[in-house]
């Protein structure tokens, strides 16, 4: 494990934590002189050093053209500093609530930049402020006069649950690159992260007899909850199980396969935390997540049993979202 040799590192870290705690959480922020910061860049320090050399040389040798060049460059730097600070000052940043995502995928943060100024604003970058990275991954945009601009910032969520959004930062070095103007924004929104589905999960578990048909026998030879039969004339086309039908056609039988509603009336598909295998909670939730997606894709009714929570069998987008939310917060 690497140990930092900088004696001021702990002090710097404590200062950063104190400073971040002072930021008010909000999904909309107006940039003013109180929350917009400015410092010279490396080229800016080099320009200042060059101006000092030009001024000393002009004084020693009484060069009028040297004075002219020095003050022209200094005046340009001052004007650039004013324009650079004004590029961010007066902007309003708003964030839309992000949609739920699966762990390990990118959460897209939709940010709108609104300007009331009569002049356009150029060269504005936005990114996630990550202490592990020296520089954020910037998304650059221009904002038209008295208009707005939309950008999407990608943030990778590596763990499940209801997570707070990271700090965001906006920066510009327009027009000369001699000054860096930036701000730090702490969003108030949260995002729900589902467990990452298992890449190659086993087949769905066999169905359990309903209470009214407890004497029925489970007949799924593959261990997966089938509930299918041969297609009959008059069956709705949406009842066809195309994946199994494709396998049957490939095997030479040429028969379509449809869902057996009578079978579904006798059996229930339960996705049980206790029967998901593995000893790790995260691995179990990952498998259950994959089973939920598969059962929903097949159009089967399914229920979910978790520690302290039971969701009765059903199907549909609302039911799938309810199950995924329960897995995320388990």
How far apart CA 330 and CA 328 sit, in angstroms, is 6
Backbone angles phi, psi at 3, to 5 degrees: -115, 130
pTM, full prediction: 0.77
Query: Domains, the chain, ranges and CATH?
Result: 25-192 (2.60.40.10), 208-212+225-329 (no CATH)
pLDDT per residue, tens digit, the chain (330 aa), is 444 456 666 776 677 677 777 889 999 999 999 999 999 999 999 999 999 999 999 999 989 999 999 999 999 999 999 999 999 999 999 999 999 999 999 999 999 999 999 999 999 999 998 766 656 789 999 999 999 999 999 999 999 999 999 999 999 999 999 999 999 999 999 999 999 999 999 988 887 777 654 444 434 434 444 555 555 555 566 666 666 566 556 655 556 666 655 555 567 889 999 989 888 999 999 999 999 999 888 878 899 999 999 999 998 999 999 999 999 998
Phi, psi of 169 (to 5 degrees): -135, 145
């Amino acid at each position: 494990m690497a140990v930092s040799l900088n004696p001021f590192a702990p002090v710097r870290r404590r200062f950063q934590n104190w400073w971040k705690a002072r930021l008010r959480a909000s999904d909309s922020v107006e940039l003013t002189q109180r929350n917009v910061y400015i410092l010279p860049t490396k080229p800016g320090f080099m320009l200042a050093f060059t101006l000092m050399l030009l001024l000393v040389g002009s004084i020693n040798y009484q060069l009028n053209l040297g004075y002219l060049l020095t003050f022209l460059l200094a005046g340009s730097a001052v004007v650039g500093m004013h324009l650079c600070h004004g590029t961010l000052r007066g902007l309003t940043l708003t964030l839309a609530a992000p949609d739920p995502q699966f762990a390990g995928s990118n959460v897209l943060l939709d940010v709108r930049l609104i300007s009331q100024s009569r002049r356009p604003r150029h060269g504005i970058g936005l990114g996630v402020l990550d202490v592990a990275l020296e520089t954020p991954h910037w998304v650059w945009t221009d904002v038209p006069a008295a208009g707005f601009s939309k950008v999407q910032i990608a943030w990778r969520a590596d763990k499940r649950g209801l997570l707070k959004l990271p700090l965001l930062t906006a920066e510009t070095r327009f027009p000369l690159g001699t000054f860096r103007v930036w701000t730090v924004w702490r969003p108030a929104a949260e995002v729900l992260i589902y467990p990452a589905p298992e890449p190659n999960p086993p087949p769905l578990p066999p169905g359990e007899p309903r209470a009214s048909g407890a004497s029925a026998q489970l007949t799924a030879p593959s261990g997966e909850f089938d509930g299918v039969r041969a297609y009959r004339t008059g069956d709705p086309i949406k009842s066809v199980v195309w994946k199994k039908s494709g396998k049957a056609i490939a095997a030479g039988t040429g028969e379509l396969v449809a869902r057996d509603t009578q079978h579904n009336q006798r059996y229930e598909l339960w996705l049980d935390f206790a029967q998901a295998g593995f000893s790790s909670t995260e691995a179990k939730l990952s498998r259950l997540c994959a089973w939920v997606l598969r059962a929903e894709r097949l159009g089967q009714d399914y229920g979910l049993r978790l520690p302290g929570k039971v969701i009765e069998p059903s199907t549909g987008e609302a039911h799938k979202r309810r199950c995924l939310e329960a897995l995320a917060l388990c």
